[in-house]
Copies of this chain bind each other. A is one copy, B any other.
Amino acid sequence: MSKNSIQLESLSGFHIGGSVHDLTGFPLGLQFKNEGKHVLGQMYAQHYRLAFPRCETPVSFWHGGGLTGASWETTPDGRSGWLEHFLREGFSTYLCDAFERGRASLPPPHTVGQIPEYRSVDSIWHHFRFGKDGLDPDAIFGDPRGAAYHGQQFPVESLIAFGQQFVSRFVDTDCQALAAYAAFLRRVGRCFVIGHSQGGLFAVQSATAHPHLVKAVVAIEPPMTEGALKAIELEIRAETPPHLFIFGDYISGVSKTWERFLSNTQRFREVLHRAGVPCELILLPERGIRGNSHMLQMDRNSSEIAEIVVNWLLNLDELR
């Protein structure tokens, strides 16, 4: 990775998607006039356009649930993130905030018919595979390194800095998020989509629905439920773009949830293979890369994993 300066031709930000709605039904006693016209359904993206890209096709980063585009920037312990890594590798990039997250704006709950959720940091401790389930939250925060799995690559001592990144979310707004991402893809044109977690599943779903707008999908630990798998596999065609899936450590025998998502991803890989769609599934421990959490773009070896992705993208033409 070059440590020269990053030469940008331009840097821009924009919202895309959504439409105007006449809203009523706000709680009484508000200070401003909330009733009236609102734009709902939009997402947000920042575009870093390189002056001299190595690759004509730009990369889009789609974050995971409860997070924002910030999860691709500086890691919680202050190292360069994948955004900077891919720019230095010569990819123009789009850094996205999905519908309802971050700068995209959380819509008024009564327009969604749900109550926003705020996942606690200790509740993701086991789900993100930092360490065992059922630990006392004070013990986790008091000695995160001691509480973590042996060999853990996530910088758990920066758990508070990671906790700063969380935003509220709804749990049943996938259709709105996918509609906004479709509007995004129509606007920016054919790109690579690198998605993490929920954003990885959105990437797979979007590539299946809009194969001409996605050159390839990199899905990092997508929450591939049986329902998601069933819906996508029916849509797979020969023109579905190539897929790379990456999963970290502490899955087998540790987390039933992630065993299930991995197993469904393995089934999806078979569907893609039968359709003649190039697909690679990397289980990092099988390559001798151990200790990776669910947040592998923030783990201590995040640059090593970024390099795997860069090489896969650059060698794509050999896959077909």
Q: Interface of A with B (CB < 8 Å)?
A: 5-16, 18, 20, 22-23, 26-27, 29-39, 42, 44, 46, 48, 51, 68-70, 73-74, 78, 80-81, 83-84, 87, 97, 102-103, 105-106, 108, 115, 117-123, 137, 141, 160-161, 163-168, 171
Contact = CB atoms under 8 A, between A and B. Distances in A.
A218 to B, nearest CB: 21
Nearest to A6: B8
24 contacts: A6-B7, A6-B8, A6-B11, A8-B8, A11-B84, A12-B74, A12-B81, A12-B84, A13-B81, A15-B70, A15-B161, A18-B164, A26-B118, A27-B115, A30-B117, A34-B119, A38-B120, A38-B121, A39-B164, A42-B164, A44-B70, A68-B103, A102-B105, A106-B168
A11 B29 CA distance: 42
B166 A37 contact: no
Contacts of A13: 70, 73-74, 81, 83
Contacts of A37: 120-122, 137, 141, 163
A160 B19 CA distance: 8
Contacts of A123: 32-34, 36
Given A23-B120, A103-B68, A171 B11 contact: no
B117 A171 contact: no
Contacts of A80: 10, 12
Given A8-B5, A123-B33, A108 B118 contact: yes
A13 B78 CA distance: 9
A131 to B, nearest CB: 14
A30 B115 contact: yes
Contacts of A69: 103
Given A51-B5, A115-B27, A115-B30, A120 B15 contact: no
- Which A-B residue pairs are the 7 nearest by beta carbons? A36-B120, A13-B73, A15-B164, A33-B123, A5-B51, A39-B163, A102-B103
A120 B11 contact: no
A255 B117 CA distance: 40
Contacts of A171: 31-32
Contacts of A29: 115
A31 B117 contact: yes
